[in-house]
């Protein structure tokens, strides 16, 4: 029947998604583990996350962002760290 075909298709799609979600959850767990290990060695997770975010950005984009932020901060008289 048509209903059965549709039901079977739905089931297949759902099961594919569930499998992928499981793998994704496993990776998330792995990532948490690495952060835990890093913490155990004295590294700061939050800073590591910032680093990772920065490494993901194109250098030019990052530069632009930084420049505009500096501009805005100076306009407001907020001291900008000369890192």
Partner DNA sequence: AACGCATAAGTAAGAC
Partner DNA sequence: GTCTTACTTATGCGTT
Q: Considering the complex, what minimum distance in angstroms separates the CB of residue 71 from its own copies?
A: 8
Phi first, then psi: give them for residue 80, nearest 5 degrees.
-105, 130
53 binds, among DNA, its own copies, none (CB under 5 to 8 A by kind): DNA
How does DSSP classify residue 78? Answer: P
36 binds, among DNA, its own copies, none (CB under 5 to 8 A by kind): DNA
Q: Which stretch binds DNA (CB under 7 A): 6-14, 35-43, 66-74, 75-83?
A: 35-43
Separation CA 68–CA 59 (nearest Å): 14
């Amino acid at each position: 029947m048509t209903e059965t075909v549709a039901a079977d298709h739905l089931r297949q799609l759902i099961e594919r998604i569930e499998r992928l979600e499981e793998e994704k959850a496993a990776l998330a767990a792995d990532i948490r583990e690495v952060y835990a290990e890093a913490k155990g060695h004295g590294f700061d997770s939050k800073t590591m996350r910032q680093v990772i975010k920065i490494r993901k950005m194109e250098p030019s984009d990052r530069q632009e962002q930084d420049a505009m932020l500096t501009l805005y901060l100076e306009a407001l008289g907020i001291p900008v760290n000369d890192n």
